[in-house]
């Protein structure tokens, strides 16, 4: 790789805007990197789509990001990471990182004696078995307790983060994990980092593994190993979406922390 390669942007994509939590984590950890984000807001959610459709959508987004001359692609979508990562890696001339592996690997980094942990995610991610398959490959001695939490994403997107109902729903899902005696819990959805404060208050015994933060850690390691790290200055962040909805700005601030200056609508092939 050349110095010119290091100046190229990192591409990040998700089925919607939830992946902005990953983008934000990357931007904080690697402020010198130019970042391009694509959110497929016109076709969200991916969780209700077939595997074939998720693969097709993901490959279309990959092609778009490659036109932006990216040096690396992050699939910041748990569904795409679960169902399309292999196809993305086979078709991509640049490295592709999903959000499942970093979360699992983080367990070993925190404590290499862990033999049991939990993961909460959307129903489609849990149904795919992606975390279990990854754990069996990377940490064969690890037993993973998986819990689908289908109400958390719509609750977050409706702005209920600090409502009483949020605590009730979290307790409905997480009390079972607490009863199992689990202490290490992977947040297996890009929306869930927004719930960390509440979960920690309700369950202080949980060690929360934030897949967004862990993905940023893994990306930094990979870029360093490949000598692709950008300059140590303020990198640009450009946002592309397939649709701009009425609630777009509120969602953008919710997941990224502030409004992004560059937003462009791009319609991909259907």
**Which residues have a catalytic role annotated?**
77, 189
- The residue among 111, 64, 109, 61 whose CA lies nearest residue 81 is 61
Using an 8 Å Cβ cutoff, are 30 and 217 in contact? no
The owner of tokens 């693969």 is: 55
**DSSP H or E stretch at residue 168:** helix 164-179
The owner of tokens 């690890």 is: 142
Cis peptide leading into residue 45 (ω within 30°): yes
DSSP string, 216-257: HHHHHHHHHHTT----SS---EEEEES---TTHHHHHHHHHS
Pairing of strands 207-210, 184-187: parallel
């Amino acid at each position: 790789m050349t110095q010119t390669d290091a100046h190229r942007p990192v591409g990040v994509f998700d089925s919607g805007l939830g992946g902005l939590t990953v983008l934000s984590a990357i931007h904080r950890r690697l402020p010198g990197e130019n970042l391009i984000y694509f959110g497929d807001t016109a076709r969200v959610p991916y969780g209700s789509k077939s595997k074939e459709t998720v693969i097709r959508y993901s490959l279309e987004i990959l092609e778009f990001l490659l036109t932006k001359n990216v040096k690396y692609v992050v699939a910041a979508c748990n569904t795409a990471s679960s169902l399309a990562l292999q196809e993305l890696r086979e078709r991509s001339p640049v490295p592709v990182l999903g959000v499942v592996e970093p979360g699992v690997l983080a367990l070993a980094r925190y404590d290499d004696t862990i033999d049991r942990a939990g993961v909460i995610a959307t129903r489609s991610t849990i149904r795919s078995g992606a975390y279990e398959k990854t754990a069996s490959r990377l940490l064969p001695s690890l037993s993973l307790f998986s819990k689908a939490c289908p109400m958390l994403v719509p609750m977050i997107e409706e702005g209920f983060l600090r409502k009483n109902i949020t605590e009730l729903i979290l307790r409905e899902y997480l009390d079972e994990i607490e009863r199992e005696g689990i202490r290490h819990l992977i947040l297996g959805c890009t929306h869930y980092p927004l719930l960390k404060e509440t979960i920690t208050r309700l369950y202080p015994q949980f060690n929360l593994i934030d897949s967004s933060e862990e993905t940023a850690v893994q990306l930094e390691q990979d870029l360093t190993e490949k000598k692709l790290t950008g300059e140590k200055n303020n990198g640009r962040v450009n946002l592309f979406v397939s649709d701009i909805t009425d609630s777009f700005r509120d969602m953008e601030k919710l997941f990224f922390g502030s409004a992004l200056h560059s937003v462009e609508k791009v319609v991909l092939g259907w």
